[in-house]
Amino acid sequence: MYQVLYRKWRPKTFSDVCGQPQVTSTLLNELREDRLSHAYLFTGSRGTGKTSCAKIFAKAVNCLNPQNGDPCNECEMCRAIDNGSCLDVIEIDAASNNGVDNIRDLRDEANFTPATAKFRVYIIDEVHMLSISAFNALLKTLEEPPEHVKFILATTEVHKLPSTILSRCQRFEFKHITPEDICSRLKYVCENEKLELTDGAAMLIARLADGAMRDALSLLDRCASFGGTIDEKTVEDAAGIAGRDYLFALADCIAEKDVVKGLEIIDTLHKNSCDMERLITELTNHFRNIMVAKTVKNYRELIICSDEELEKIVKQGERIKLETVLHTINRLNEALAVIKKSVNRRIEMETAFMSLCSPELDKSNDALLSRIAELEGEVRMLKSNGVKASVVKDEKTAEPVKREPAAEEEIPLPEEPPVSEEKTEEIAEPVKREEPKKEVKSGDEKPFDKWPEAVKLACSEDVPLIGFLTGTSAIIKDNVVFIKSDNPVLASFLQQENHTKIIRSAIFKITGEKYKLGIYNSNSSAPKKDPLEGFMKRAQGLGINVERKE
pLDDT for the residue 314: 92
For residues 392 and 375, what is the distance between their CA atoms, to the nearest angstrom? 17
The CATH code of the domain that includes 124 is 3.40.50.300
Q: Is-contact 44 156, C-beta < 8 A?
A: yes
For residues 262 and 355, what is the distance between their CA atoms, to the nearest angstrom? 12
Kind of pairing between the strands at 149-155 and 120-125: parallel
Shared-domain flag, residues 280 and 312: yes
For residues 75 and 66, what is the distance between their CA atoms, to the nearest angstrom? 9
Task: Tell whether 392 is covered by a domain.
Answer: no
Q: Is-contact 56 71, C-beta < 8 A?
A: yes
For residues 175 and 158, what is the distance between their CA atoms, to the nearest angstrom? 13
Q: For 368, list phi and psi in degrees, rounded to 5.
A: -65, -40
Q: How many domains does the chain fold into?
A: 4
For residues 280 and 286, what is the distance between their CA atoms, to the nearest angstrom? 10
Q: Which helix (H) or strand (E) holds 170?
A: strand 170-174
Shared-domain flag, residues 255 and 360: yes
Least Cα distance to 283 among 248, 315, 259 occurs for 248
Residues 6+ apart with CB under 8 A from 545: 539
Task: Tell whether 383 is covered by a domain.
Answer: no
Shared-domain flag, residues 28 and 122: yes
Shared-domain flag, residues 70 and 161: yes
pLDDT for the residue 174: 93
DSSP E strand stretches across 368-505? 390-393, 400-403, 419-420, 424-426, 446-447, 473-477, 480-484
- Report in angstroms the alpha-carbon separations of 344 from 28, 283, 338, 489: 56, 19, 11, 70
pLDDT for the residue 239: 82
Shared-domain flag, residues 16 and 69: yes
Shared-domain flag, residues 129 and 201: no
Q: For 153, list phi and psi in degrees, rounded to 5.
A: -100, 135
C-alpha triplet 106, 111, 113: angle, nearest 5°: 115
DSSP E strand stretches across 434-535? 446-447, 473-477, 480-484, 516-520
Shared-domain flag, residues 435 and 328: no
Q: Is-contact 202 187, C-beta < 8 A?
A: yes
Under the phi-then-psi rule, with left for phi > 0, alpha for psi from -120 to 50, and beta for the rest, what region is 74? alpha
The CATH code of the domain that includes 296 is 1.20.272.10
Maximum distance among all Cα pairs of the chain, rounded to whole angstroms: 132
pLDDT for the residue 484: 85
**Residue after which a domain boundary falls, among 148, 174, 200:** 174
Task: Tell whether 512 is covered by a domain.
Answer: yes
Shared-domain flag, residues 15 and 152: yes
Q: Is-contact 292 347, C-beta < 8 A?
A: no
Task: Tell whether 497 is covered by a domain.
Answer: yes
- Report in angstroms the alpha-carbon separations of 514 from 43, 373, 462, 481: 87, 44, 19, 10
pLDDT for the residue 392: 45
For residues 322 and 14, what is the distance between their CA atoms, to the nearest angstrom? 46
| Three-class DSSP category at 155 | strand
Q: Model-level pTM?
A: 0.59
Q: Is-contact 280 337, C-beta < 8 A?
A: no
Task: Tell whether 479 is covered by a domain.
Answer: yes
DSSP letter string, 213-251? HHHHHHHHHHHHTT-S-B-HHHHHHHHT-S--HHHHHHH
Shared-domain flag, residues 289 and 335: yes
Domain range for 205 is 179-239
pLDDT for the residue 478: 79
Task: Tell whether 402 is covered by a domain.
Answer: no
Shared-domain flag, residues 23 and 110: yes
Question: Which residue type sits at 52?
Answer: S
Least Cα distance to 124 among 51, 18, 226, 204 occurs for 51
- Tens digits of pLDDT across the chain (550 residues): 788 888 889 999 998 999 899 999 999 999 999 899 999 999 999 999 999 999 999 999 999 998 888 999 899 999 999 888 888 999 998 888 888 888 888 888 888 888 888 999 999 999 999 989 999 988 888 888 888 999 999 999 999 999 999 999 999 999 999 888 999 999 999 999 889 999 888 988 988 888 899 999 999 999 998 888 898 888 888 887 766 788 999 999 998 888 899 999 999 888 888 888 888 998 999 999 999 999 988 888 888 777 788 889 999 999 888 888 988 999 899 999 888 888 888 898 998 888 888 876 666 666 666 667 666 666 666 666 555 544 444 444 444 444 444 333 333 433 434 433 433 444 444 433 333 333 344 456 788 888 888 888 888 887 777 777 888 888 888 788 888 887 777 777 777 777 888 888 888 888 888 888 888 876 544 444 555 566 566 656 656 565 655 5
Task: Tell whether 409 is covered by a domain.
Answer: no
**Residue after which a domain boundary falls, among 133, 152, 174:** 174
pLDDT for the residue 220: 92
468 alpha-carbon distance from chain centroid: 60
Q: For 454, list phi and psi in degrees, rounded to 5.
A: -65, -40
For residues 451 and 313, what is the distance between their CA atoms, to the nearest angstrom? 73
Q: Is-contact 429 532, C-beta < 8 A?
A: no
Number of neighbours of residue 531 by Cβ within 10 angstroms? 20
pLDDT for the residue 275: 86
Shared-domain flag, residues 15 and 160: yes
- Report in angstroms the alpha-carbon separations of 533 from 417, 522, 538: 11, 22, 9
Q: Is-contact 184 25, C-beta < 8 A?
A: no
Number of neighbours of residue 63 by Cβ within 10 angstroms? 24
Shared-domain flag, residues 294 and 348: yes
Which value, in Å, is the radius of gyration of the alpha carbons in the chain?
42
Under the phi-then-psi rule, with left for phi > 0, alpha for psi from -120 to 50, and beta for the rest, what region is 206? alpha
**Residue after which a domain boundary falls, among 375, 398, 428:** 375
Q: Which residues of 454-469 are buried (b: 16+ CB within 10 A; e: fewer)?
A: bbebbbeebeebeebb
The CA-to-CA distance between both ends of the chain, in Å, stands at 102
The CATH code of the domain that includes 477 is 3.30.300.180
